[in-house]
Structure 1
Amino acid sequence: MPKNLYVRAGIYWARFKVRGVEYRESLRTRSERVAVKRLALLREQVEDESVFGVAGPVSWADAVVSWSQRISTAVGAQTYTRYLCSLRQVRGHFDQLSVQQISADILKDLIKARRRAGVKNATIRRDLTAVSSVLDNAADEGWISDNPAVGLNRRRIVPERTERIVLPQDASIAMVFPRLVPRVRDLCEFTRETGLRLDEVTGLRHASIDRNERTITVEKGKGDKLRVVPLTKIAEAIIDRQPRYIGKPWVFWKDKGQRLTEVSSRLGDLTRRVAQKAAREEVEFHRFSHHDFRHLFAVEYLRSGRGSIYDLQGELGHSTITVTERYLAFLTPDQAKSAKSVMAQRGAHSPRFEAANA
């Protein structure tokens, strides 16, 4: 088979790269001799456009392939995975377009379509970030003069909604936990004790736990950042309750040692059923999610004087103190004053944390 040719369903196709972009196109012939001639003409046309600085139409799919080859080593694994997830969601809007056809109006149409589909604003902004990254690469390759996503005021077009903080109430927790799978219940308790995010807990490996130094190393936090948090007695006891699956690294696992998944959906389904039953019986119940235990950790941390607001920022892995300061609203004036000091009143531990470190 001659170079840069392959056969699909008996038809010859061209496949070659110019300036990092892979081109695939049907040569519409079953004859190898004709295919070789058409390949030469097609490649000459593409290379001429590239040399003279006038890019021919570059499909969105080809632009994503080129972007992927460059970006995969430039960002962390989690960021790259999030980008790919967003690009899969929007491909239906762009697959029939070339990058030259994508304008600010096209992007605004995408935003409207995603809103009609019930997609949250935060997700739409993530989608736009991924699309903008591809268009940045297209501009670098010379296929477009400017990135149309840069001119969009994303905060105005897709306003950011502040996450409402919900603290799980003990009475509501008591109505749910007895009916929850033990391992999922332990996972929620672990988040309440350590403040780790869901993917940080489900991705926790035994090798990341140092019992001598009393630390837990979060190897891939948000933004692929590494951080170290304390290993309390309660957190250690929760870990010890998990049977270890030989040959597998995960602390929280399922089936044959695979990483535990579907925690949010399990907890969400159960709290919904409990809420329905409570409504029928006219019993007070407040729904909560797994992430709300991270909020509870933060508030209990500050109320107990375990550390300052700056210490809490480090343990939660927040990039800015502004995000952490939301928890000050749940404190008394004296507690807030103490939390904002560089050295919080570490002696005023709550019974929970006294027991944790006894």
Structure 2
Amino acid sequence: MKRLAALREQVEDQAVYGIAGPVGWRDAVISWSENVAGSLGDRTYSRYCCSLRQLRTVLDPLSVQEITPELLKELIKQRRRAGVKNATIRRDLTALSSVLNHAADEGWIAENPAGGLNRRRLVPERTVRIMLPQPESIALVFARLPSRIRDVCEFTRETGLRLEEVTTLAHADIDRVERTITVNRGKGDKTRVVPLTKTAETIADRQPRYIGKPWVFWKGKGVRLTDLSSRLGGFMRRVARKAARENVEFHAFSHHDFRHLFAVEYLRNGRGSIYDLQGELGHGTITITERYLAFLTPDQVKAAKSTMAQRGAQAPRSEASA
């Protein structure tokens, strides 16, 4: 009787809602990939696939019809108990939701069960306190770094580019006539243009070119750098141990901290307004950029917020970088 009732319910669902029979999660992912991948940027698609791989052990045995809001809430709890960072969980949910949206579009489910989840409550976004790297600590680490890794850090401090944007920078992206750098692989696969300063140009020019390869910063046989964060972290730990033995003050930092340093120095030196900085950093909202106002004096904040603030023109930027 139960089986008959279930079958009757399935037939009614198909007749009324257009819902198909059970469709395996793996089949849904394959179909999603074939139909949606072309509309996503390469980086976004790769990031989604990475997230979906992390969820396979839980979701592969299921059909899309078995994925409910309750199951997703439990999945979130499991991931948090396992020590997975909230930012990673949110990215995973975004990828999962993309597949479920596709399943709904195909008529396999009535609606996306992830759509109604309150992600801010279930996976709160932790505000990371910005800590600027100290000159003394930078000097200790730079003294040990290979020149190419040091150049990547200095290039970020000069341009404000993200690590991924620096390591995917091609020589063709640098326009020495217009004095610009075109960031073709920015966050969200957006393109933006930032000024090319004399210092940034000098750093790029001292990178040896690998024939047949486009990257400004590369390793091995011309492949782009992909392990800089881990390598920088390794040097950081060695410097920290040495500093502890010698009772020398040392504060560890990450590559991304040079992007923060660029932003604060940009505003302190009057290179442009907070709105100009938003554009150079590629921030989606001004709220994110406004975090850097906390590092300014009241007069600097007033100037940074003024629409009359000096724009990040090439001449002042170049003079400041000389």
Are the equivalent residues in 1 in contact too, given 2:151–2:203 (CA < 8 A)?
yes
What pairs up with 1:18-97 in 2 under 5 angstroms? 53-97=18-62
Q: Which has the larger radius of gyration?
A: 1
CA RMSD of superposed structures (Å): 2.0
CA distance in 2, matches of 1:314, 1:307: 11
Change (3 A) 1:352 1:74: closer
Residues 297-341 of structure 1, C-alpha deviations (whole Å, 9 max, x = no match): 000000000000000000000010000000000000000100000
Q: Pick from 129, 152, 171 the counterpart of residue 187 of structure 1.
A: 152
Q: Pick from 233, 250, 257 the counterpart of residue 285 of structure 1.
A: 250
What pairs up with 1:131-210 in 2 under 5 angstroms? 131-210=96-175
Q: Which runs of 5+ in 2 are unaligned?
A: 1-10
- Output the amino acid matched with 1:223: G
3-state DSSP of counterpart to 1:289: coil
Runs of 4+ in 1 over 4 A off after TM superposition: 48-52
CA distance in 1, matches of 2:102, 2:311: 50
Are the equivalent residues in 1 in contact too, given 2:19–2:109 (CA < 8 A)?
no
Are the equivalent residues in 2 in contact too, given 1:302–1:335 (CA < 8 A)?
yes
- Output the amino acid matched with 1:145: A
For the pair 1:308 / 2:307, whether they are aligned, the reply is no
Are the equivalent residues in 1 in contact too, given 2:271–2:317 (CA < 8 A)?
no
Are the equivalent residues in 2 in contact too, given 1:206–1:250 (CA < 8 A)?
yes
Q: Which runs of 5+ in 1 are unaligned?
A: 1-47
What pairs up with 1:175-324 in 2 under 5 angstroms? 175-324=140-289
Are the equivalent residues in 2 in contact too, given 1:302–1:339 (CA < 8 A)?
yes
CA distance in 2, matches of 1:331, 1:341: 14
Query: What is the aligned-residue identity percentage?
Result: 75
CA distance in 2, matches of 1:280, 1:156: 44
CA distance in 2, matches of 1:121, 1:286: 25
3-state DSSP of counterpart to 2:38: coil
Query: Structure 1 length normalisation: TM-score?
Result: 0.82
Query: Structure 2 length normalisation: TM-score?
Result: 0.91
Residues 86-138 of structure 1, C-alpha deviations (whole Å, 9 max, x = no match): 10111111010001111111111211121122111011011011111111111
The structure showing larger relative contact order (alpha-carbon pairs under 8 Å, at least 6 residues apart) is 2
1:345 is displaced (CA, Å) by 4.4
1:50 is displaced (CA, Å) by 11
3-state DSSP of counterpart to 1:72: helix
Greater helix proportion: 2
